[in-house]
Amino acid sequence: MAILKLQRRFSVRGESVYKIVSSRYFVNKDANLIEVSNEIVKHRESDCIGVIDDNENAIGILSRKKIFDLLGKSYGKEILSFRNVEFLTEECMTFQIEENILNVVDRIKERLEINEPTYFLVKYDKDKFAGIFSNIDLMIYLSKILQKDILLASNLQRSIIKEEEVVEENFFSLIFCSNMMKEIGGDFYFFKKHEDRYIFSLCDVSGKGISASLLTAFLRGVVVAYNFSLGLEGLISLINTELHSVFELQKFVTGIFIDFHFREGNMEIYDMGHSLIYLLRNNKLMRLKTNRNNLPLGLSSVMKIVPNSFGLEKDDLLILLTDGIIEQTNFRGEELGEEAVLRMVKIYQNNSLKEIKNNLINGVFTFKEKEPQHDDFSFSLLKYHGNSSSSIVSL
């Protein structure tokens, strides 16, 4: 008869701790240690086994390491020959089979930072042996959950922030492009037609990862629910108030918000701590002067918002960037820079917006070569087809 026994598998629902059990082998406390060591050699997958008493109640664990450490010492084999399993049995924390994994995490979170394996018993019917898991098993499980969460967040964000969106109207063409550093990121844009205006924005959320993804989902929700007849300034104030209230200065957003009267070519520009807005007119590039006193959203519960008025002329090309694109480096640590980005736009200015976009992205990736992308980068291009004699008005 085998000294080591294999516990049956249990059927559990939900996120039970039993899902991460990695060893179901157990042995009676009175078994001879040398015989047990010979059995353990046959089961290399089990670094730890359960120990039960004569009533089949789990009383502790027996680790492979402890057995073989003793075998490696002088007279270790002789000692094991005259000892039973109880001699090397260790007590450990125990959990009931139906306990939720997240509750387990809360109870042993300090031990998750330990590099060495730590083992835990899982019981059923209060004291019966069900299996063993380790802190490493738990970390692997949490890693898989994180990967699933990242995938879910990525899919959600891609439904909110598409890699490319194009607006074609008689008076203008508008394109948005967003290229995330990872599966999820913190750049955000939106556009919406309201009566005879287009309202659009390009934003950069502080931070990266899931928290930034949550914030972009939050921004999307605010934009979708907002009544644009109340004006763009009302939307900006609402976003600021909610950001400050919910995230309590832990997150903020920089962005350019534009209220565009496309028939006349006039626009109100709200630069909220962003400033990366440019104009290509008559083959000349300029950085638009916008109010630098507007704070990023989320930094203050109350803020004064000052817009700038601007008028487009026929064939003007308006350029909005996030800083990820100009701060991208190559293998020598050199930044691509503002001038290089704008130069690429200027070279292809007579092409379609989609061709300008594709050439700009290709230029960035050619520049960085094998250097990883360091940040999300997004941009928007607006080509005005109408007629306007308006000029820049600096406030």
Q: Which two tokens stand for residue 296?
A: 């990023």
Q: Please tell me the predicted confidence (pLDDT) of residue 183.
A: 57
Give the list of residues 6+ apart from residue 123 with CB closer than 8 angstroms, or none: 58, 94, 95, 96, 97, 129, 130
Q: Which residue in 216, 218, 224 sits closest to 154, CA to CA?
A: 216
């502080």: which residue's tokens?
206
Helix axes 209-225, 135-160, angle to 10 degrees: 30
Report the 10 Å Cβ neighbour count for 243.
25
Q: Please tell me the predicted confidence (pLDDT) of residue 213.
A: 73
Q: Which residue in 2, 16, 4 sits closest to 122, CA to CA?
A: 16
Helix axes 64-71, 33-40, angle to 10 degrees: 110
């070279």: which residue's tokens?
347
Q: Please tell me the predicted confidence (pLDDT) of residue 67.
A: 85
Report the 10 Å Cβ neighbour count for 153.
20
CA distances from 314 to 191, 257, 318, 351, 379 (A): 21, 22, 11, 15, 21
CA distances from 363 to 177, 328, 343, 381 (A): 14, 11, 11, 16
Q: Please tell me the predicted confidence (pLDDT) of residue 182.
A: 61
Q: Please tell me the predicted confidence (pLDDT) of residue 347.
A: 94
Domain ranges in the chain are 5-142, 161-384
5-142 to CATH, choices 3.10.580.10, 3.40.605.10, 3.40.50.720, 3.50.40.10: 3.10.580.10
């565009």: which residue's tokens?
260
User: What type of residue sits at position 168?
Assistant: E
Q: What architecture is the 161-384 domain classified under in CATH?
A: 4-Layer Sandwich (3.60)
Q: Are 51 and 29 in contact (CB under 8 A)?
A: yes
DSSP state, residue 238: H
- The C-alpha angle 43, 61, 108, rounded to 5 degrees, equals 110
Torsion angle (degrees, nearest 10) of CA 8, 13, 16, 22: 30
Per-residue pLDDT of the chain (395 residues; tens, 9 = 90+): 578 899 999 998 888 999 999 999 999 999 998 888 888 878 777 789 999 999 999 999 999 888 888 888 887 788 888 889 999 999 999 999 999 988 888 888 877 777 788 999 999 999 999 999 999 888 888 877 766 766 666 666 666 778 899 999 999 999 999 887 665 667 889 999 998 899 999 998 876 666 777 788 788 889 988 999 889 999 999 999 988 888 777 788 999 999 999 999 999 999 999 889 999 999 999 999 898 889 999 998 888 899 999 999 999 999 999 988 998 999 898 999 999 999 999 999 999 999 999 999 999 999 988 888 878 888 999 999 986 444 443 33
- The span from the CA of 25 to the CA of 51, in Å, is 9
DSSP codes of every residue in 64-123: HHHHHHHHTSTTHHHHHHT-BGGGG-B---EEETT-BHHHHHHHHGGGGG-SS--EEEEE
